[in-house]
Amino acid sequence: MSTKSATHNARSPWQLGIPLVWLSLLGLAVTGMAQLEGVFRLFEPDVRSVIYSRVDFSLLLGRHLFVVAIAALVTITVGLAAGIAVTRNKGRDFLPLVSQLASIGQTFPPVAVLALAVPVLGFGTLPIIVALMLYGLLPIVRNTLTGLQEVDAGIKEAAQAMGMTSGQILRQVELPMAAPVILAGIRTSVTINIATAALGATVGASNLGDPIIAGIVNGNTAYVVQGALLIGLLALSVDSTFEQVQRRLKAY
Amino acid sequence: MSLKDPLPVAKGRLCWFSPNWVLLLLSTLALGAFLGLEIVSVAPNRIVSGTGYPVFSALGWPGTLLGAGLILALIGLSCMADQRHYRGAYRAMLAIVMALLGLMPFALMVAIHRLVDSDLPQARLGIGAGFWVTLFVLLLALVELRTRLALARIWSWSLLIPIGLLWWLCLSLWLEPLALMREYHSRSEQFFTAFRQHLELVGTAVGISLMLGMGLALLMRRYPGGQKAAFAVLNFLQTIPSLALFGLLLAPLAWLAANVPLAASLGISGIGWAPALVALVAYSLLPMVRNTFIALEEVSPAVIDAAHGMGMSTRQVFLQVRLPLALPVMLEGVRITTVQAIGLTTVAALIGAGGFGTFVFQGLGQAAMDMVLLGALPILLMASVADALLGAVSDFLRPGGAK
Query: What confidence category does residue A65 fall into, taking pLDDT thresholds of 50, 70 and 90?
Result: very high
Domain range for B339? 188-397
Q: Which of A112, A116, A212 sits opposite B243 (nearest CB)?
A: A212
SS3 B8: coil
Residue of A nearest to B20 (CA): A93
With respect to residue B384, please indicate whether it lies within any of the assigned structural domains.
yes
Residues B54 and B87 in one domain: yes
Q: Which of residues 10-39 of B touch A (CB under 8 A)?
A: 10, 20-22
* Number of domains comprising chain B: 2
Residue A71 has pLDDT above 60, yes or no: yes
**CATH tag, A3-251:** 1.10.3720.10
Task: Supply the CATH number for residue B297's domain.
Answer: 1.10.3720.10
State the first-to-last Cα distance of chain A, in angstroms, to the nearest integer.
Answer: 14
Residues B38 and B133 in one domain: yes
Smallest CA–CA distance, residue A225 to chain B, in Å, is: 7
Residues B236 and B352 in one domain: yes
Q: Tell me what percent of chain A is helix, strand and coil, each rounded to the nearest 5.
A: 85, 0, 15
Quick check: A99 contacting B, CB < 8 Å?
no
Q: What is the pLDDT of residue B84?
A: 55
Smallest CA–CA distance, residue A74 to chain B, in Å, is: 22
Quick check: A69 contacting B, CB < 8 Å?
no
Residues B223 and B371 in one domain: yes
Contacts of A236 in chain B (CB under 8 A): 239
Residues B199 and B143 in one domain: no
Residues B221 and B319 in one domain: yes
Residue A47 has pLDDT above 80, yes or no: no
SS3 B170: helix
Report residue B40: phi and psi, to 5°. -140, 165
SS3 B255: helix
What pLDDT digit, counting tens, does each position of A121-170 carry? Answer: 878 888 899 888 888 888 899 899 999 988 888 988 899 899 888 888 88
Quick check: A110 contacting B, CB < 8 Å?
yes
Smallest CA–CA distance, residue A4 to chain B, in Å, is: 23
Residue of B nearest to A120 (CA): B129
Residues B32 and B155 in one domain: yes
Contacts of A198 in chain B (CB under 8 A): 241, 243-244
B165, B186, B207 — which closes off a domain?
Answer: B186
Residues B57 and B169 in one domain: yes
Integer Cα distance of A221 and A211 in angstroms: 10
Q: What is the pTM (predicted TM-score) of this model?
A: 0.82
Q: Which of B8, B147, B342 sits opposite A96 (nearest CB)?
A: B147
Question: Which sequence spans correspond to the domains of chain A?
Answer: 3-251
Given a contact cutoff of 8 angstroms between Cβ atoms, the answer to whether B248 and A244 are in contact is: no
Inter-chain CB proximity B372 and A225 less than 8 Å: no
Query: What confidence category does residue A2 fall into, taking pLDDT thresholds of 50, 70 and 90?
Result: very low
With respect to residue B402, please indicate whether it lies within any of the assigned structural domains.
no
Residues B202 and B84 in one domain: no
What pLDDT digit, counting tens, does each position of A170-224 carry? Answer: 888 889 889 999 999 999 899 888 988 988 888 888 888 888 888 888 878 888 8
Inter-chain CB proximity B376 and A112 less than 8 Å: yes
Residues B258 and B388 in one domain: yes
Each residue's pLDDT expressed in tens, for chain B with a length of 403 residues: 444 444 444 444 445 566 778 888 888 898 888 888 888 888 777 767 778 888 887 788 888 888 888 888 888 888 876 655 667 788 888 888 888 888 888 888 888 888 877 777 777 888 888 888 889 899 888 888 888 787 777 777 788 888 888 888 888 877 777 777 887 878 888 889 999 999 999 999 999 999 999 999 888 888 888 888 888 888 778 777 788 888 788 777 777 777 777 777 777 777 778 888 988 998 888 889 888 888 888 888 898 889 989 988 888 888 888 888 888 888 888 998 999 899 889 988 888 888 898 988 888 888 777 888 888 889 988 998 898 888 888 878 776 654 4
Q: What is the pLDDT of residue A77?
A: 95
Residue of A nearest to B143 (CA): A97
Inter-chain CB proximity A107 and B339 less than 8 Å: yes
With respect to residue B25, please indicate whether it lies within any of the assigned structural domains.
yes
Smallest CA–CA distance, residue B265 to chain A, in Å, is: 22
Smallest CA–CA distance, residue A186 to chain B, in Å, is: 16
Q: Which of residues 121-180 of A touch B (CB under 8 A)?
A: 123, 157, 160-161
Interface test with A, best of B239, B269, B337, B380 (most A CBs within 10 A): B239
B146, B164, B186 — which closes off a domain?
Answer: B186
Interface test with A, best of B131, B138, B243 (most A CBs within 10 A): B243
Residues B296 and B256 in one domain: yes
B164, B186, B208 — which closes off a domain?
Answer: B186
Integer Cα distance of A229 and A211 in angstroms: 11
Residue of B nearest to A165 (CA): B8
Residue of A nearest to B377 (CA): A112
With respect to residue B319, please indicate whether it lies within any of the assigned structural domains.
yes
Query: What confidence category does residue A51 fall into, taking pLDDT thresholds of 50, 70 and 90?
Result: confident
Inter-chain CB proximity A97 and B143 less than 8 Å: yes
Contacts of B309 (CB under 8 A, 6+ apart): none
Q: What is the pLDDT of residue B211?
A: 92
Amino acid at A122: G
With respect to residue B385, please indicate whether it lies within any of the assigned structural domains.
yes
Residues B139 and B198 in one domain: no
Given a contact cutoff of 8 angstroms between Cβ atoms, the answer to whether B273 and B330 are in contact is: no
Amino acid at B326: A
Q: Which of residues 6-25 of A touch B (CB under 8 A)?
A: none
Q: Give Cα separations from B337 to A143, A170, B41, B154, B290 (angstroms).
A: 21, 37, 38, 23, 11
Contacts of B147 in chain A (CB under 8 A): 96-97, 100
Neighbour order of strands in the sheet with B40-43: B51-53, B40-43, B124-127
Inter-chain CB proximity A198 and B10 less than 8 Å: no
Q: Which of residues 269-308 of B touch A (CB under 8 A)?
A: 270
Report residue B126: phi and psi, to 5°. -95, 150
